[in-house]
Amino acid sequence: MSELVIGLVSISDRASGGVYEDKGIPALQDWLSTALTTSYRIETRLIPDERSAIEATLIELVDGAQCHLVLTTGGTGPARRDVTPEATLAVGTKEMPGFGEQMRQVSLKFVPTAILSRQVAVIRETPTHAALIMNLPGQPKAIKETLEGLKDSDGKVVVNGVFAAVPYCIDLIGGPYMETDPAVCAAWRPKNAVRPQGQS
């Protein structure tokens, strides 16, 4: 099976313009390094809030760099410059609404303004390849919360994070078998889809 390739895209006018340091990509890299036990390669892109640039970047990462999973951060609010969801929907062949719904459910546990977030997820398919593209919040704390979910003081999951469903989604679209550290985020698969540990 091919190597797992993950694209990370931070969408910010100011960070891409050098006004301040990007925090989205480092937050995603840190979380993935703790959550994934499967080896993987990362492609990173830092771009402005321009719909054409976002669309071109997502297409390049899936069709060119052959990413199996693309995570974006930033540009998902209601402001005029926030166009990440529109760009994501434009390049997708299937919409996956459950991811955005669950992200808002997690964030609503913390802030009522979570209903203003417009994160979406799509599958982009070409004749020979497919990838899951998912919009995440812009703040590092919110990125971790939405991916990982919420646990109580005993470590029991209270609200599932969205990443628990990502490995099985990648299975279903023909990507590499992904394994996670259950202490961070337990990947969920039906029993007939679970492989012996380390057997990809």
What is the residue-averaged pLDDT of the chain?
Answer: 93
pLDDT of residue 199: 58
User: Which DSSP category does 192 fall into?
Assistant: G
Domains delineated in the chain: 4-193 (3.40.980.10)
Q: What's the token pair of residue 16? A: 């891409």
Q: What's the token pair of residue 11? A: 């969408």
SS3 170: helix
pLDDT in tens, 55-69: 999 999 999 999 999
pLDDT in tens, 131-178: 999 999 989 999 999 999 988 888 788 888 999 999 999 999 999 999
Interhelix angle 24-35/140-148, rounded to 10 degrees, is 30
pLDDT of residue 15: 73
How many beta carbons lie within 10 A of that of residue 182, not counting itself? Answer: 11
